[in-house]
A and B are shown apart, each in its own frame.
Chain A
Amino acid sequence: KQEVTQIPAALSVPEGENLVLNCSFTDSAIYNLQWFRQDPGKGLTSLLLIQSSQREQTSGRLNASLDKSSGRSTLYIAASQPGDSATYLCAVDNAGNMLTFGGGTRLMVKP
């Protein structure tokens, strides 16, 4: 059974810092891995999707990497801004049927 863990659970940084969010998974036989952003009381916004054959994906100030063999992914946020404050969720697709989510990292970027 796939288990997804995100560390840290919460993170507070000053504006402008570069930061890394971590995601680990126990079963490396994945189709893809997605990073999402969730604002309080809102739905999920997809940030990046990395297929199992890829090593990384980039979108603006975001860069996500995937190391299937070690069961890890990182989300790198450059030059953080207060608007980046949200919960970031990592999810893996094993069977092609469902996403297994981590518990999330709650990020606060202080002005």
Chain B
Amino acid sequence: NAGVMQNPRHLVRRRGQEARLRCSPMKGHSHVYWYRQLPEEGLKFMVYLQKENIIDESGMPKERFSAEFPKEGPSILRIQQVVRGDSAAYFCASSKRGAGSSYEQYFGPGTRLTVT
């Protein structure tokens, strides 16, 4: 059973370009979470998605960032017009949830974005 998969593992973009980060959850998991780890800072929640729905995007910057989790295919975190401050490690996690309780989140290896 493959774990959470993220690609690419490393991504270099020039300022102003777009970055697309992909996350495939563990088999049987229908809940996906994105977190960001800025250099020398802790992990911060960005967005929580279920298939075709954004459940909580309270941690997403208001501009340039968007996320989706389509019916088919991986979840995508999209950053438009990247700036140097977007350089960070972006982690995806997935879980299998039930109503009224929470389940363990399993993390992918992360995508390290460098903006030059």
A residues whose Cβ falls under 8 Å from a Cβ of B? 31-32, 34, 36, 41-46, 49, 51, 89, 91, 93, 95-104
Contact = CB atoms under 8 A, between A and B. Distances in A.
A12 to B, nearest CB: 19
A36 B107 CA distance: 10
Contact of B104 (A43, A49, A101): A49
Interface of B: 33, 35, 42-45, 48, 55-56, 58-59, 91, 93, 97, 101-102, 104-110, 112
Given A98-B45, A102-B42, A42 B109 contact: yes
Given A42-B109, A44-B107, A98-B56, A32 B102 contact: yes
A96 B110 contact: no
B101 A103 contact: no
29 contacts: A31-B101, A32-B102, A32-B104, A34-B105, A43-B91, A43-B107, A44-B43, A44-B107, A45-B107, A46-B104, A46-B105, A46-B106, A49-B104, A51-B101, A89-B43, A96-B101, A96-B102, A97-B56, A98-B33, A98-B48, A98-B56, A98-B58, A98-B59, A99-B33, A99-B43, A99-B105, A100-B45, A101-B43, A103-B42
A91 B93 CA distance: 13
